[in-house]
């Protein structure tokens, strides 16, 4: 049944990587076109696996504030020799790193977001930097009302200031914001800050050959198959 009671949020803040866009399939296709001899699926997962350790260096103060674009490039430069691609030139590395700006949306994403936007203020809440997210939105046709990023707050999720910052920017109570994400740790941190939460199933986030378990409903979290299903559950036309 659609949610239409007083608990209905005013702002939907969406995680992006994995929730709205298919990072694994997009990166895999691009590296396969450039280096068909390597295991492109493994390369995509390895690149993504460097993401949390890189952000941890920023959180720990080992690195000053560093945009995800820059962290992605640092990870890439480490990864290329491991896959026999150390000879890739600078121009090719820079262009490959921009694949994160060209990620393809999940099949339900654009239509689902458009329906959600018809009823709610729709923004991103991603660790991706603002320029990256804007380029991605332009490329993929993602209909955001507003792009918010860890860069907006100078802190990476799950720092509480990122979640509470959304409410502050829109001048609403935290409970009037709903985080939409495919990752339970993100949702748990948002709930701890008083936000509502919606879990989106993305079993193929890490590739069809590495299915991700669909986690059962958590307390006080709306559970939807995809963004179209979420629009149905939230009563969007």
Residues 6 or more apart whose CB falls under 8 angstroms from that of 154 comprise: 65
What's the rounded mean pLDDT across residues 112-136? 98
SS3 at position 151: helix
| Structural domain boundaries, residue 130 | 11-22+104-233
In a domain, 2, yes or no: no
Q: Tell whether 96 and 122 lie within a shared domain.
A: no
In a domain, 194, yes or no: yes
Q: What percent of the chain has pLDDT over 90?
A: 93
pLDDT tens-digit profile of 73-95? 999 999 999 999 999 999 999 99
Q: Tell whether 68 and 171 lie within a shared domain.
A: no
What CATH number corresponds to the domain at position 30? Answer: 1.10.150.240
In a domain, 46, yes or no: yes
In a domain, 38, yes or no: yes
Q: Tell whether 83 and 111 lie within a shared domain.
A: no
Domain end call among 50, 67, 101: 101
Q: Tell whether 123 and 177 lie within a shared domain.
A: yes
Q: Tell whether 92 and 178 lie within a shared domain.
A: no
- What tokens were used for 109? 């994403």
In a domain, 3, yes or no: no
Domain end call among 101, 121, 148: 101
Identify the pLDDT of residue 6: 52
pTM to 2 decimals?
A: 0.95
Q: Tell whether 63 and 85 lie within a shared domain.
A: yes
Backbone angles phi, psi at 151, to 5 degrees: -60, -30
Q: Tell whether 29 and 93 lie within a shared domain.
A: yes
Structurally, how many domains does the chain consist of? 2
Q: Is pLDDT at 142 greater than 70 in this prediction?
A: yes
Q: Tell whether 143 and 94 lie within a shared domain.
A: no
Instruction: Tell me the C-alpha to C-alpha distance, in Å, between residue 49 and each of 19, 46, 72, 107, 137.
Output: 17, 5, 11, 24, 24
In a domain, 42, yes or no: yes
Question: In which band, very low, low, confident or very high, does the pLDDT at 119 lie, cut at 50, 70 and 90?
Answer: very high
Identify the pLDDT of residue 5: 53
Q: Tell whether 165 and 226 lie within a shared domain.
A: yes
What angle is formed at CA 182 by the lines to CA 180 and CA 183, rounded to 5 degrees? Answer: 105
What's the rounded mean pLDDT across residues 139-154? 98
Q: What percent of the chain has pLDDT over 70?
A: 96
Domain end call among 51, 81, 101: 101
What's the rounded mean pLDDT across residues 136-154? 98
Instruction: Tell me the C-alpha to C-alpha distance, in Å, between residue 122 and each of 60, 106, 132.
Output: 31, 17, 18
Q: Tell whether 193 and 79 lie within a shared domain.
A: no
pLDDT tens-digit profile of 198-227? 999 999 999 999 999 988 666 689 999 999
What's the rounded mean pLDDT across residues 61-76? 97
Q: Tell whether 88 and 123 lie within a shared domain.
A: no
Q: Is pLDDT at 1 greater than 50 in this prediction?
A: no
Identify the pLDDT of residue 8: 87
Q: Is pLDDT at 3 greater than 60 in this prediction?
A: no
In a domain, 117, yes or no: yes
Identify the pLDDT of residue 216: 62
pLDDT tens-digit profile of 147-200? 999 999 999 999 999 999 999 999 999 999 999 999 999 999 999 999 999 999
Rounded Cα distance between 39 and 102, Å, is 21
Identify the pLDDT of residue 227: 98
What CATH number corresponds to the domain at position 170? Answer: 3.40.50.1000
Q: Tell whether 63 and 170 lie within a shared domain.
A: no
In a domain, 179, yes or no: yes
């Amino acid at each position: 049944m659609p949610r239409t009671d007083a608990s209905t949020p005013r702002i939907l803040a969406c995680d992006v990587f994995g929730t709205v866009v298919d990072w694994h399939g997009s990166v895999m296709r691009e590296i396969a076109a450039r280096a068909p001899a390597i295991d492109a699926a493994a390369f995509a997962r390895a690149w993504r696996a460097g993401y949390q350790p890189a952000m941890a260096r920023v959180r720990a103060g080992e690195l000053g504030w560093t945009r995800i674009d820059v962290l992605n490039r640092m990870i890439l430069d480490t990864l290329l020799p491991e896959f026999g691609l150390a000879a890739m030139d600078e121009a090719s590395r820079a262009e490959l790193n921009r694949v994160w700006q060209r990620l393809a949306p999940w099949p339900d994403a654009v239509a689902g977001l458009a329906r959600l936007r018809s009823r709610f203020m729709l923004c991103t809440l991603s660790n991706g930097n603002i320029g990256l997210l804007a380029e991605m939105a332009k490329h993929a046709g993602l209909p955001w009302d507003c792009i918010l990023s860890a860069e907006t707050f100078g802190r990476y999720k799950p720092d509480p200031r990122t979640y509470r910052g959304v409410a502050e920017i829109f001048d609403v109570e935290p409970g009037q914001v709903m985080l939409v994400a495919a990752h339970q740790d993100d949702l748990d941190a948002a709930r701890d800050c008083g936000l509502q939460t919606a879990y989106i199933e993305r079993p193929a986030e890490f590739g069809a050959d590495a299915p991700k378990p669909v986690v059962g409903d958590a307390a006080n979290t709306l559970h939807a198959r995809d963004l179209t299903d979420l629009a149905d559950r939230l009563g969007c036309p």
